[in-house]
Amino acid sequence: MSARSHTAVAGLAPDAERDIETKGESGAPPTHVAIIMDGNGRWAASRGLPRVAGHREGARAVRRAIEAAIEQGVGWLTLYAFSSENWRRPASEILDLTGLLRHYLRTEIAELRANGVRLRVIGDRDRFDPDIRTELLAAERSTAANTRLNLTIALSYGGRDEILAAARVLAAAARDGRLDPAVMEETDFTRGLFTAGMPDPDLVIRTSGEQRLSNFLLWQSAYAELVFQDVLWPDFGAAHLADALAEFARRERRFGARPG
């Protein structure tokens, strides 16, 4: 990811949306749910189908997850669709995934707009073909006034790259005398992340039974509750989201404080 992708950090200007409350309360439903969508390949393999069939079904599950989030009152939903490491997959699979993304953008955006969904994209979009970049920007612009669900899709996203890019911008600001490292605060840093202006995730769900973060929202998930579900992403539906929200409700969140 290049520092130039980080429009939010230019000149360290205060972000207009920074006033969003980023710390949930114990007992409150999650404001922001983030999902690591995993298991498309295994879903396909278990049916003797090519991997692309799993990704296609995964795109249908994306639609279900968005509908379920709206129905279940989730205000912010972030989906990890493509990691910076996914570029290392075989060229044919990359072609399938980018083709699916292109198709998704052309067919689903009108629906998102009609359903009050605001789309944001985080990640290094510069690595995608120009037509996809244009569609992404158009989709973000045309849904920018929507408030029912804040949907973020992580594309070519890597948490360490994101943190490194933010650190570079701050280091340059310190070098140029625009920032005093001694008084630097967390907000100076978070302004440089792709997620500037977004609340941190309260709940991170990973499907397919794997139990890792895989470079997803590393900074932002510091206090997130993690829920790992034994469902392959293409089979994910409203009931799985409801289960994860119920599990979240059973957790006691302390944000590092002692039980009192």
CA end-to-end distance (rounded Å), the chain: 42
- Would residue 38 show up in a list of annotated catalytic residues for this protein? yes
Shorter beta-carbon distance to ligand FPP: residue 101 or 231 = 101
Distance of CA 202 to the CA centre of its chain: 12
What mask, x for binding ligand FPP by CB under 6 A, covers residues 125 to 164?
Answer: ----------------------------x-----------
Contacts (CB under 6 A) with ligand FPP, residues 33-52: 37-42
Shorter beta-carbon distance to ligand FPP: residue 18 or 56 = 56
Concatenating the DSSP letter of every residue in 98-114 gives HHHHHHHHHHHHHHHHH
Q: Taking CB under 6 A as the rule, does residue 55 contact ligand FPP?
A: yes
Contacts (CB under 6 A) with ligand FPP, residues 78-107: 81, 86, 100-101, 104
Instruction: Give min distance, CB of 44 to ligand FPP, in A.
Output: 8
- Would residue 40 show up in a list of annotated catalytic residues for this protein? no
Q: Taking CB under 6 A as the rule, does residue 59 contact ligand FPP?
A: yes
Instruction: Give min distance, CB of 58 to ligand FPP, in A.
Output: 3
Contacts (CB under 6 A) with ligand FPP, residues 155-214: 208
Shorter beta-carbon distance to ligand FPP: residue 18 or 102 = 102
Check 15, 86, 215, 243 and give the catalytic one: 86
Cβ neighbours of residue 206 under 8 Å, at least 6 residues apart? 35, 36, 38, 212, 213, 226, 227, 228, 229
Shorter beta-carbon distance to ligand FPP: residue 119 or 193 = 119
- The answer to whether residues 117 and 149 touch, using CB atoms and an 8 Å cutoff, is yes
Distance CA 75, CA 146 (A): 11
E-state strands within the chain: 32-36, 76-83, 117-122, 149-157, 203-206, 225-228
Instruction: Give min distance, CB of 112 to ligand FPP, in A.
Output: 11
Distance CA 155, CA 83 (A): 6
HSE, side-chain direction, 13 A CA sphere, residue 43 = 23
Number of residues interacting with ligand FPP: please give it, by CB under 6 A: 18
DSSP, collapsed to helix, strand or coil, labels residue 57 as helix
Distance CA 248, CA 20 (A): 21
Q: Which residues in this chain contact ligand FPP in the complex, by CB under 6 A? A: 37-42, 55, 58-59, 62, 81, 86, 100-101, 104, 153, 208, 233
Which of the residues are catalytic?
Answer: 38, 86
